[in-house]
Chain A
Amino acid sequence: MSSGIEKALRRANPDAARRGAYAGKAIARVTGKRSKDISRRVEAQQALSRMEESSLLTPDELTARRIISTKTADSPVGNAFRELRGKIFKEFGDEGLVISVISIQADGGSSFVALNLAAAIAFDESRSALIIDCNIDRGSSIKTQLKEGIALGLSDYLESDDIAETDIILQTGIKRVRFVPAGTEFGNPAEHYNSVKFQQFIDAASSRYDNRYVILDTPPILESADTSILVELSDAVVLVVPYGKISSMQLSDALDIIGKEKIMGVVVNNEPEMRSYNKK
């Protein structure tokens, strides 16, 4: 199992593997920085390895839940998420960050992308991901994808002082991936997102581990005014556009709401491809 993960990691992060091989020939300064990086990552890895993981899902179970795993890392979908992950790492370095995964319309696939992005990030043993379901008013499909029941979540935490952070951060059955459900209290989302408590929560969640990636699964832009607040809070935005579902007009409306500054780029989701039928 572990060898499989290593293999997947090597595939997912070929740069890291190559770095080790060519370290001797590299310029001293870069080598110095790299060795520092590596030492930091080793520390993070050690810290993460202490994360409590109970009842992990098998790759087959993950596949059934439409989540990429070491088994499907090489599939077209797996490759696409690894590409996405790679680009995020390349752009923002090894630091952890807050990423909003935004879709334009409902059922735009933002939850699928958020969850799988988290899974892809967590392939790396030195990185962890926390998904926060920000669809307070209805809850995202992550819950169903993870086969979670109704659980306390973000809204409950923000509403009540009795609930601790640790109560709402759930294990997902995926190594180094945690999940915060939307919660059971359907109050005014805008108030919650603007609250200091929420911001503190995000800060705490992102700094809890080194190289922690907080992924916000946001409500669709065109359906919720809260999305722009979440964009403000995040370091990067990934715009999920389902293939053949969004018109140029809708896209430009969405861009008018959230602005282009933080958008890293577009992830085209659900693109029909012939080869996807033939390969696993």
Chain B
Amino acid sequence: MEDSLEEKLGIIIKEASVHRRALVYGFICISLLVLVAGLYFPKKYESSATIIVNQKDIIEPLMEGRAVATGLVDVAEQARELVYSRQFLTKVMKAVGWLDTPLTPIEEERIRDSLKKAIGVKNSGENLIDISYQDEDPERAKLTVDKLVEFFIEDSRIRKSEESRKAYEFVDSQVEAYHKKLVEAENRLKDFRSKNAGFQNGSDTDTNRRIAALRGQIEQTKLSISEEEIRKGSLEKQLSGEAGLTSSLTREGQYLSRIVELQNELDTLLLSYTDTHPDVIVLKHQIEDMKRAIKKERERNRAPSGGARSENEVYVDEGVRLSPLYETLRNQLSQSKTQIATLNARLRENEKLLQEEIELNKKLHESEATLAELNRDYEVNQQIYNDLLRRRENARVSMNMDISQKGLDMKVYEPAYLPIEPSGLRLLHFAIGGIILGIALPLGALVAFLELDPRIRNKRIFEKEFGLPVITSIPRWVGEEELAETRVENRKLILMLIVSVLLYVAIGLARIKGVI
């Protein structure tokens, strides 16, 4: 069951009055203790300085577009890293005078540690670094901050120039590397050109034109050959027809045709006459004569020419005159055959040339691709090389600037000051805190005790939780003597409170006057 605030307050007041003595004692003890602690609390003087930094990674603008810069590091983080480094702290310690007296390594380490704790580095703005330091001695606080700032700027500059020097070296090494690459590319190009000198002028269009001409010629030749073939065929046909006509003009032929005529006559006569008919006998004789004449003729023909004549050759009687047309045809045929042979030879030659030309063309294409690649290589290398050369010059300028301490934009924005008032907790704070604590702690303890104590103090619980009405509440019986004692005690307590407050004020005044 939750008690209402009013009930709680009533109970707290009641209990406070019961335990008033403990509360007063608690207040006096705690407040005085806190005050004494305040007296002995070491005074801290804090000095600080602000540095404005326009820090940019030097390699970033140099490599802009050429390389990706790593992310910018927090300025204060970098500063902290530097300031808290052992080397840096030792330098500051030496400069401020901590190490004037000979110290053991442990003592030195202890001082370094306390220094580390007392130094604060923080970002107070985008490019502002706040360096602060707390010390019991205001002069030393200021001196330390001065040294911190001085060394910080100095070291930063060294770091910066180191950085730019490294950047220059890096760019320089890149320049060298690209220079080598460029030379290589150049050499490759040169080699290639010298190897493919023949193709230097033989351009693509030239060979193409030649190929086209050759193809035309081949077509032409082929056409001519087919024309010639046709002509030859027709000549041969004509020639064979002409041969039959010439054979009838031979003497033998004449005889034979005479024989045929005579035979026909004889046959006609035999139809009307017998063999004994004179006409028939005459005819028969005539036929016989003819046959003899043929025979004689044949023998005569055979004798001079001997066996030189082939079987296929048509036998031409010397006496028979050769046909002039046939002669002409034969001449023409022979001419035609010669023509065909010539044309065929030309065709082969042309085809060979065409093949060669195509080969040449292919080679030309290949070499052109290689050349383009080599050229491209060369051009890219050259471009980067030129760019790097320019950047190297930039880097050199940056480096020189840093070396002459003109490049880094870092200056003291607000110099260290001599702290007059101690920072942190002062006696006044302790005094006020002591009074508050002196009241709050015992009361808090009482409230906590009441919260935790399960015993019934709120009369409403009887009714609410147990259904028992509260008939009455009997106050504590306080006898005359007790009452008198209580009065005396109350007076005592009030007196003690007054005395303690006076003591408080006295201590405070003494502090202000500088007695304590």
Contact = CB atoms under 8 A, between A and B. Distances in A.
Interface of A: 63-64, 66, 76-77, 80-81, 83-84, 87, 109, 112-113, 116, 238-239, 241, 243-249, 251-252, 255, 260, 263-277, 280
Given A64-B479, A241-B456, A77 B474 contact: yes
B477 A87 contact: no
B478 A265 contact: no
Interface string B51-90: 0000000000000000000000000000000000000000
A265 B469 contact: yes
B173 interface: no
B464 to A, nearest CB: 11
A77 B18 CA distance: 18
A141 B483 CA distance: 22
A268 B459 contact: yes
Interface string B451-481: 0011111010110011111111111111110
Q: Is the interface of B mostly helix, strand, loop or mixed?
A: mixed
Nearest to A276: B475
Given A77-B477, A247-B455, A272-B18, A263 B468 contact: yes
Nearest to B461: A248
Nearest to B457: A244
Given A264-B471, A280-B480, 4 more contacts: A77-B477, A246-B456, A247-B454, A248-B456
Interface in B11-33: 13-15, 17-18
B10 to A, nearest CB: 11
B423 interface: no
B455 A276 contact: no
Which of the listed residues A239, A244, A245 has the most CB atoms from chain B within 10 Å of its own CB?
Answer: A244
B331 interface: no
Contact of B471 (A245, A248, A265, A272): A265
B17 A87 contact: no
* Contact count band on B: 20 to 34
B119 to A, nearest CB: 56
Which of the listed residues B461, B466, B470, B471 has the most CB atoms from chain A within 10 Å of its own CB?
Answer: B471
A265 B475 contact: no
Contacts of A244: 15, 453, 455-457
Contacts of A251: 456, 462, 466
A76 B472 CA distance: 11
B474 A271 contact: yes
Given A63-B480, A244-B455, A244-B457, A272 B14 contact: yes
7 contacts: A63-B480, A84-B472, A243-B457, A268-B459, A272-B476, A273-B476, A274-B13
A268 B465 CA distance: 15
Contact of A63 (B14, B462, B476, B479): B479
Closest 6 CB pairs of A and B: A265-B471, A247-B454, A265-B469, A268-B473, A273-B475, A80-B474
A271 B15 CA distance: 10
